Structure 1
Amino acid sequence: MQMPHPLTRDLVLIGGGHTHALVLRKWAMAPLAGARVTVINPAATAPYSGMLPGHIAGHYAREDLDIDLVRLARAAGARIILDRAVGLDAVQQRITLGSGRILDYDLASLDIGITAEMPAIPGFADHALGAKPLDTYAARWRAFLVKVQAGQANPQVAVIGAGVAGVELAMAMSHALAQAGATPQVHLVEAAAGLTGTAPATRARLSRALRDHHVTLHFGASVARIAAGGVQLADGRQIEADLIVGAAGAFAHRWLRDTDLPLTEDGFVIVDPDLRVRGHEKVFAAGDCAHMAHAPRPKAGVFAVRAAPVLHDNLRAVLSGQTTRAFHPQRDYLKLISLGDRSAVAEKFGIAFSGRWLWRWKDRIDQSFMDKFRILPAMPAPARPAVQALGAAEAAGHDQPLCGGCGSKLGADALHRVLSRLPAPQRADVLSLPGDDAAVLATGGARQVMTTDHLRAFTQDPALMARITAIHALGDIWSMGATPQAATATVILPPMSPTLQARTMAEVMQAASDVFRAAGADIVGGHSTTGAELTLGFTVTGLCEGVAITHAGARPGDRLILTRPIGSGTILAAEMQMRAEGRDVAALLARMAQPQGDAAKVLRGAHAMTDVTGFGLAGHLMALCRASDLAAEIRLGDIPLHHGAEALAAAGLRSTAWPANLAAAPVTGAIGARGVLLHDPQTAGGLLAAVAPDQASALLAQVRALGHEAAIIGTMVQGAPGIRCV
């Protein structure tokens, strides 16, 4: 087997701004061999600011604005870390994240945007919000609009700052409130004597549009403080408002002041013509967070977009030992300013014109920009040789990548046939029953359980992969009612330089250690090697205070409690094909990274229990049925699903393990996408417990109170082992 090209350099893109998004798209077209690309962003999506006024006005849905960074990272072969940078040491070449995680880099680039929060105004942090970050403002606006429609808030809005952003948002909010049936009372507050940031001809047109939208203008008005319910001006006037938005200028993120980067007086990162941070050869910066000392420009998205090709080429140049080139921004640019309704004003070279056709033109420009991220380079299908051995095509199955996690595991039937041929245990201290989740060993006067689990990577982030793999491996210990004791690790890394090997191993072991120590166990050793791809595994032991909970022991009438939604295999398969929504992937990974030891403690009185993993919910429930010699009745509508899984299953998305799971555990009456998901392989899936019917509701309430999306999904009944939907 040919090994992939070894990784030798870490490129870290801090922030998912427009420049970095375009760099990633360009990278997807032609990746640089040997470079490992990492994207750090707090959310799975990055909103496009050009369409924000249209969204606020109600012309665009929220998702229309979003660049899906998860899909984009997959296309570029990059790993994405959903976290926020809070520190950067340019000397040590180290980035600190909000979670406390630390990343080393060989080359870094900043594109973290700006904030419109105004901490200098008393009361702003408690009673107002900035127009940026965009996603926070958009969410608060939607919630406010709902309250106005429900009569729980007055349609009174104050916007601080009468630049282009403030003007656009004031008219957009007035338009949306009017469309919602309210009588808008929108105030635009500006310390200067008039509108700012535009030419006289443009200001005249904007002033007329503001009057048409019944926006009240307050010029020469300094804000003294903000309180609940309004804005107090320096001259003593009060402006009543239930929503207060700051749009007066651009402010740099405050954490930059704690770095050793060169900054302007107002905190922006100073860059040289090639966009490299002045005095730091290994750090670049672009977008609104950067100050181009050679060619100062206002904070506008057009410059971020135009800088992207230069930044892309210069990052590649530094990583490959080539020469960088300078970025020369244009002196003037076309301003297209939305007017709330579907019309706009355009300005260039001080000349202004307006009309509805301009809004349509702006919409085409914005949609064209977003199409760059909606339509990404397709993942090539695996090539098949022209001549193959008999049966090779059938064994290969679908022309889709082999799934990661439990989606790559062997089918239950094949595994059962192999295990059934092994001789029975010859030692008296091996107490295991065939097919149980973990081996049960008699050790002195105690009962010890032992299990092992290994996963093929489904995410490029080794720390997240290690955390989920550790939780996945602990599932067998928790499901048998044991307390985790010790673990050994097996780490297979793809080819890397010694430096990247050390970095990656440190990330893997730290993340895994955090999980095991929180569960009361310790990592006591392990084994590492190089392979074609990242694969992680853990062998874990645990101690039982009493008799281990096994698959056997379920009783007729027992209620079935499932502690976690299903559908992870389908979402992960879709993500590999770039067909899953980034938000859904992020939510899934966050749920998979949540330990379940607390839920296992609540369920320790279960008559039988297992964790739902590679064989799917149906396969693991069938194991309980066979061991307990009972049937199970389940209610499809009561089974919790990971968001997005049902739609993907309905669209025909399947994990590569799905056909084998279906064959091994058919379910009578299973129909539709929910029926399909019964056979979906789960990674770090939920616990499935058969509990006494008179205790089920109380136990469910306790598990849900711990933050688990648990449900009672069915009942164990008399009958031949099997599963049917009722």
Structure 2
Amino acid sequence: MQENALIQTRDVVLIGGGHTHALALRMWGMKPVAGARLTLINPDPTAAYSGMLPGFVAGHYARDDLDIDLVQLARFAGARLILGAADHLDCEQRQIHVPGRPPIGYDLCSIDIGITSAMPDLPGFAQHGIPAKPLSDFAARWQQFRDADGPARIAVIGGGIAGVELVLAMTHALLSRGRETQAHLIDRGEILKGMAGATVSKMRAALKAHGVTVIEKAEVARVEADHLVLSDGRHVASDFTAGAAGARPYEWLSRTGLYCSDGFLQVNPALQTSSPDVFAVGDCAHMSRNPRPKAGVYAVRQAPVLVHNLRASLQGKPLSMYRPQKDYLKLVSMGEQRALAERGGFALSGRMMWRWKDYIDQKFMNQFRDLSPMAPPPLPKDRVADMAEALGPKPLCGGCGSKLGRGVLRGVLDTLPPPSRGDIQALPGDDAALLVVGGQQQVLSSDHLSSLTNDPYAMARIAAIHALGDIWAMGAEPQAATVSVILPRLSEPLTTRTLSEIMTGASETIRAAKADIVGGHSSVGTALTIGYSITGLCENPVTLGGGRPGDVLILTKPIGSGTVMAAEMQMKAKGAWVAECLRQMQIPQGEASGVLRNAHAMTDVTGFGLAGHLLNICQASGCAAELLTGHVPLLPGALDLARAGIRSTLYPQNAAMHPGLESGPLTDLMLDPQTAGGLLAAVPEGQVAAVLQELRAAGFPAVRVGQLVPGTPIIRFISG
């Protein structure tokens, strides 16, 4: 009975990381539904909170203060996170399409993708304008403009509350930096239409105090790089033109076949669209029976209803109805640390209102800060005495972090007899075997990984690139591969969906390496594991044993993946760091291998860490090495996490390979187990400049990280 309770049978997919979905993920993590597999699809690893955008623009908040970390939130909720922008939903096939990957199946789906203020019909806006939404893009471009020098000319198109808040915040930020500023607010009608008279008067006074020129009843004809042209021929100077003219739905929603109102998805009081299995919330939804303005307060209050109705749909229980309030408190930023509060036609403004707004915003964001992993189930009472010590205080890492240490592996392998066949050449230390087949030299290697991401498509690609590394490290061209997959226990539909994502990722990656998948094997286990056996062809294999004193060491990828992914499991890594780490692990090294085909020795940097694999070269080549630790490129966040004491579970065994080495954050990263890491090559001094130039031209961040030197096989770690 306990085993059956762990079977996942239904897919619940959330499209978009809007405020409602963020709250829903938190609620789900606190009380998950057994048997449901939750997935979040979002273009970025973070989602910006719109309520604090004016404060960031004005300079009152740091950029990170705006972000809800979806990587940490997904980990907390036990959800798969797929980084990509959905562009179609097929209700008939129950599939969500994300460019660049196979469709994602669903049984229940919810959409919370917000709105955009892009103006595709306004000539020049796509090239020279900046829509205020999506917020992440706007925030990055504003920060760059705000921190520049010299006079500043800005314009905001759209005189609603959002546009007024934005132009006041922008002007305040520029003036507070001592920059000479020209600011314009442009609207086709009157600004703040529909707001209470007291609110309009106070906000107009604030605009005047900040020196903002208000242009009303004027159409913008086109946007140029340094000015706008109005329909009456007037030119408005602007080097930064922002669009805040109303809410526009994303165009793909209208192609779903779901009922829409002006492009927004129509929902009933249960938040269901015209397809009962598809829900919609936040600004992308239109409440047909109780239309309301696009405001975050409604999105926040939809979250409990959405979570209840997703649970109820899975469990066959009645749905709840969402009943929006008729009016709500509006808190509007006024540039400096002042705000206006308005409800029912009554308005107050001042610093006290700002403190009130800040308190509400911080209270909302604090729900997503300092999330902690849910406690694992307790160990059985009747257990052997050393079980807790053997398990350790933290969960086992995925990828190479879960592998056996070098000492254990070598100790067992050394007990095996040497090859007895004449067509097999043993290569001490190399992960691949060299075979002779019909006079052709063939390389054979096998590798497998436990999952380090819940995205099966990305995991299949990472595992393939990891396995191909042994082939590329010998200067061989990949030939054929078989795939071995262990899936957790799933229902048949979820098994089919998952396996389809895995095999698509595997096929794309292996075919891109100019090889073919020729077979495979699958079984059911406790967790996702993906492995490959791969052959390659070569004329002059590059081995570990060809290095010579004086050779320069070149590395083609940054390191730190073990530390970053260990931190992700503990919910201590920033989502942006994790996203970049996953991206780097999916960068193939085939082209780099071709550039390095004349290297004296080469290895891929994987489980033993940079120092461990370099030690392998030293031992096979009979020389020592100097490793310039300060020159080694690191993944974003890796050093910060190492300073915080984060280590992969394989780190202690890697450290044992270098007795007497003094521990420190940077040195420890040299021992960090890598998954799908780069190539480390020993290149003759005379070829280094040309090789580095060719690698960098091909897009590899290759650097010189040390050299081989005469001496016994040890590594000297040199800082600086």
Question: Which residue of the partner structure matches residue 270 of structure 1?
Answer: 266
Matched ranges for 1:233-272 at <5 A = 233-264=230-261, 266-272=262-268
Question: Which residue of the partner structure matches residue 139 of structure 1?
Answer: 140
CA distance in 2, matches of 1:205, 1:647: 46
Q: Deviations over 1:320-377 (max 9, x none)?
A: 2111111001110000000000000000111000110111111111011001001324
Q: Deviations over 1:514-535 (max 9, x none)?
A: 0000101111111100000101
Question: Which residue of the partner structure matches residue 472 of structure 1?
Answer: 466
Q: Deviations over 1:144-203 (max 9, x none)?
A: 1233x1x3xx41111111111000011000001111111211101111134324211111
Question: Which residue of the partner structure matches residue 664 of structure 2?
Answer: 672
Kept in 2, the 8 Å contact 1:79–1:460? The answer is yes
Question: Which residue of the partner structure matches residue 644 of structure 1?
Answer: 637
Question: Which residue of the partner structure matches residue 439 of structure 2?
Answer: 445
State whether structure 2 residue 597 is matched by structure 1 residue 600. Answer: no
CA distance in 2, matches of 1:141, 1:538: 46
State whether structure 2 residue 513 is matched by structure 1 residue 519. Answer: yes
With over 3 angstroms needed to count, the CA separation of the structure-2 counterparts of 1:305 and 1:393, relative to structure 1, is closer
State whether structure 2 residue 685 is matched by structure 1 residue 690. Answer: no
- Structure 1 segments unaligned to the other structure (5+ residues): none
State whether structure 2 residue 38 is matched by structure 1 residue 41. Answer: no
CA distance in 1, matches of 2:516, 2:170: 55
Q: Deviation of residue 72 (structure 1)?
A: 0.3
SS at match of 2:537: strand
SS at match of 1:552: helix
Question: Which residue of the partner structure matches residue 316 of structure 1?
Answer: 311
Question: Which residue of the partner structure matches residue 614 of structure 2?
Answer: 621
Kept in 1, the 8 Å contact 2:101–2:457? The answer is no
**What is the identity, as a one-letter code, of the residue corresponding to 1:201?**
A
With over 3 angstroms needed to count, the CA separation of the structure-2 counterparts of 1:166 and 1:458, relative to structure 1, is same
Match of 1:232 among 229, 232, 237: 229
CA distance in 1, matches of 2:428, 2:5: 39
State whether structure 2 residue 172 is matched by structure 1 residue 178. Answer: no
Matched ranges for 1:556-567 at <5 A = 556-567=549-560
CA distance in 2, matches of 1:10, 1:713: 46
Match of 2:294 among 256, 280, 299: 299
Matched positions, count: 717
Question: Which residue of the partner structure matches residue 475 of structure 2?
Answer: 481
Identity of aligned residues (%): 55
CA distance in 2, matches of 1:314, 1:667: 59
Question: Which residue of the partner structure matches residue 99 of structure 1?
Answer: 100
**What is the identity, as a one-letter code, of the residue corresponding to 1:253?**
Y
Kept in 1, the 8 Å contact 2:153–2:183? The answer is yes
Q: Deviation of residue 710 (structure 1)?
A: 1.8
SS at match of 2:327: coil
With over 3 angstroms needed to count, the CA separation of the structure-2 counterparts of 1:478 and 1:41, relative to structure 1, is same
Q: Deviation of residue 388 (structure 1)?
A: 5.0
CA distance in 2, matches of 1:667, 1:712: 25
CA distance in 2, matches of 1:377, 1:672: 26
Question: Which residue of the partner structure matches residue 125 of structure 1?
Answer: 126
Question: Which residue of the partner structure matches residue 163 of structure 2?
Answer: 166
Match of 1:530 among 520, 524, 545: 524
| TM-score, normalised via structure 2 length | 0.98
State whether structure 2 residue 575 is matched by structure 1 residue 574. Answer: no
CA distance in 1, matches of 2:132, 2:579: 25
Kept in 2, the 8 Å contact 1:618–1:667? The answer is no
Matched ranges for 1:139-218 at <5 A = 139-147=140-148, 149=149, 151=150, 154-218=151-215
SS at match of 2:544: coil
CA distance in 1, matches of 2:374, 2:422: 53
With over 3 angstroms needed to count, the CA separation of the structure-2 counterparts of 1:634 and 1:38, relative to structure 1, is same
With over 3 angstroms needed to count, the CA separation of the structure-2 counterparts of 1:582 and 1:479, relative to structure 1, is same
Question: Which residue of the partner structure matches residue 66 of structure 1?
Answer: 67
Kept in 1, the 8 Å contact 2:188–2:216? The answer is yes
CA distance in 1, matches of 2:358, 2:659: 50
Q: Deviation of residue 296 (structure 1)?
A: 0.2
CA distance in 2, matches of 1:630, 1:390: 45
Q: Deviation of residue 568 (structure 1)?
A: 0.5
CA distance in 2, matches of 1:100, 1:466: 12
Q: Deviations over 1:547-582 (max 9, x none)?
A: 311110100000011111111111111100111100
SS at match of 2:546: coil
**What is the identity, as a one-letter code, of the residue corresponding to 1:330?**
Q
Moved more, 314-323 or 20-29: 314-323
Question: Which residue of the partner structure matches residue 75 of structure 1?
Answer: 76
SS at match of 2:545: coil
Q: Deviation of residue 381 (structure 1)?
A: 4.9
**What is the identity, as a one-letter code, of the residue corresponding to 1:336?**
L
CA distance in 1, matches of 2:374, 2:13: 23
Kept in 2, the 8 Å contact 1:381–1:400? The answer is no
CA distance in 1, matches of 2:620, 2:352: 70
Q: Deviation of residue 90 (structure 1)?
A: 1.1
**What is the identity, as a one-letter code, of the residue corresponding to 2:702?**
A
State whether structure 2 residue 330 is matched by structure 1 residue 335. Answer: yes
Question: Which residue of the partner structure matches residue 423 of structure 1?
Answer: 417
Moved more, 187-196 or 714-723: 187-196
**What is the identity, as a one-letter code, of the residue corresponding to 2:451?**
A
| TM-score, normalised via structure 1 length | 0.97
